[in-house]
């Protein structure tokens, strides 16, 4: 009964997100309790009260792209589109085209790249973003970046990941 209910919820999520949730179906089939624990941590990924929408989604897209999971990246793009992020900004984030971003969004892009690529160049940008968005905004940005790695990691461990090189992302 619980498995059937959870499969129904996953079907609804697939329609909303536009991508397969087969890896989560597998988790439900093996252990509904493990799925419920996984589902209970994911709301932190949507914790956004201070950070502007465009900043949030650019960080999500950059972090998801770094994870090299095409379907996960497509979900980030689909959610950005549903949230009315300008498709030109989405494309700019995917292509790394800073000329198509406002200076504020370019700062978020560069900071996120520095974090996910572990370049060590993030300190000055962190202070800029802290001054712009406050401590709460910086926390939200950390959640946007960190949450992008959870589904690809789970998918990769379970054998459900597809590389970005095999998937054409649609904006």
Write out pLDDT tens, residues 85-123: 999 999 999 999 999 999 999 999 999 999 999 999 999
* Distance between CA atoms of residues 157 and 83, nearest Å: 30
Of 94, 68, 39, nearest in space to 152 by CA? 68
Q: Do the Cβ atoms of 85 and 79 come closer than 8 Å?
A: no
Structurally, the chain folds into a number of domains equal to 1
Q: What is the pLDDT of residue 123?
A: 95
For residue 115, tell me if it sits in a domain.
yes
- Domain of residue 85, residue span: 48-151
Q: What is the pLDDT of residue 167?
A: 52
Whole-number average pLDDT of the chain = 92
pLDDT of 165 over the 60 cut: no
Q: Do the Cβ atoms of 136 and 49 come closer than 8 Å?
A: yes
For residue 15, tell me if it sits in a domain.
no
* Distance between CA atoms of residues 97 and 131, nearest Å: 24
For residue 25, tell me if it sits in a domain.
no
For residue 131, tell me if it sits in a domain.
yes
pLDDT of 164 over the 70 cut: no
For residue 94, tell me if it sits in a domain.
yes
């Amino acid at each position: 009964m619980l498995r059937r209910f959870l499969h129904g919820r996953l079907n609804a999520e697939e329609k909303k997100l536009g991508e397969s949730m087969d890896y989560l179906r597998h988790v439900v089939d093996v252990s509904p309790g493990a799925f419920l624990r996984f589902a209970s941590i994911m709301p932190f990924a949507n914790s956004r009260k201070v950070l502007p929408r465009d900043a949030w989604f650019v960080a999500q897209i950059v972090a998801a792209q770094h994870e090299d999971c095409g379907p996960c990246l497509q979900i980030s793009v689909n959610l950005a589109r549903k949230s009315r992020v300008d498709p030109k900004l989405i494309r700019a984030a995917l292509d790394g085209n800073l000329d198509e971003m406002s200076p504020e969004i370019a700062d978020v892009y560069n900071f996120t790249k520095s974090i996910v690529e572990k370049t060590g160049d993030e300190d000055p940008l962190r202070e800029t973003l802290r001054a712009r968005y406050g401590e709460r905004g910086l926390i939200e940005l950390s959640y946007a970046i960190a949450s992008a790695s959870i589904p690809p990691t789970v998918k990769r461990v379970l054998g459900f990941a597809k590389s970005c090189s095999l998937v054409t992302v649609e904006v």
